[in-house]
Amino acid sequence: MKKLAGVIFVILFSSLTVLGQEYKTSLGVRGGYPFSGVSLKHFLNRTDAIEGVAAFHYRGLMLAGMFQRHASAFDAPGLYWYYGAGAQAGFYDRRYTPWFASDDRGNIATLGVLGVLGLEYKIEEIPITIGVDLIPVLSIFGHTGFWMNSGVSLRYTF
């Protein structure tokens, strides 16, 4: 049974074509301020990718979706710049957010648009990427305002 599962695994994954940054999809963690969470990136073609982030902060949840364009950086193998735009939605406990800190009870929802600028390195010897990014966010619903987010990502590629 283990041999059959291994053969099926090899057949399925050997048929995938590698696109973009020498990988098709990556899954991992993102640590940053003000949010940290789980990150999933998938390449649509050689240069374009979509990324989703589910982040947990202020006793709430923030979801972000981004479209990103990648380009080689500094002619270094495995090193890429990326930039793009997207949207975010957040759901927070009013008592634990810095914007609404008070004795008020209840939840608050936010919605906004964002940009992203980052640098990512695909380690050639192992299926891992390391990235850093800067994400400016303009909240347009709930809490309106502008804030910056920066972070570091570590993802497994497949």
pLDDT digits (tens, 9 = 90+) for 80-118: 999 999 999 998 877 666 655 555 667 888 899 999 999
Residue 72 or residue 108, greater confidence: 72
- CATH number of the domain enclosing 64: 2.40.160.20
Q: Which amino acid is at 117?
A: L
> Can you tell me whether residue 137 is helix, strand or coil?
strand
Q: Are strands 145-157 and 25-33 parallel, antiparallel or unpaired?
A: antiparallel
Output the pTM of the full model.
0.79
Q: What is the pLDDT of residue 56?
A: 85
Task: State the residue range of the domain holding 129.
Answer: 18-157
pLDDT-derived band at 46, boundaries 50, 70, 90 = very high
> What is the pLDDT confidence band of residue 50, given thresholds at 50, 70 and 90?
very high
Instruction: Give burial (CB, 10 Å; 0-12/13-18/19+) of 156.
Output: middle
Q: Answer yes or no: is 65 within a domain.
A: yes
69 pLDDT tier (thresholds 50, 70, 90) = very high
Give how many domains the chain has, as a whole number: 1
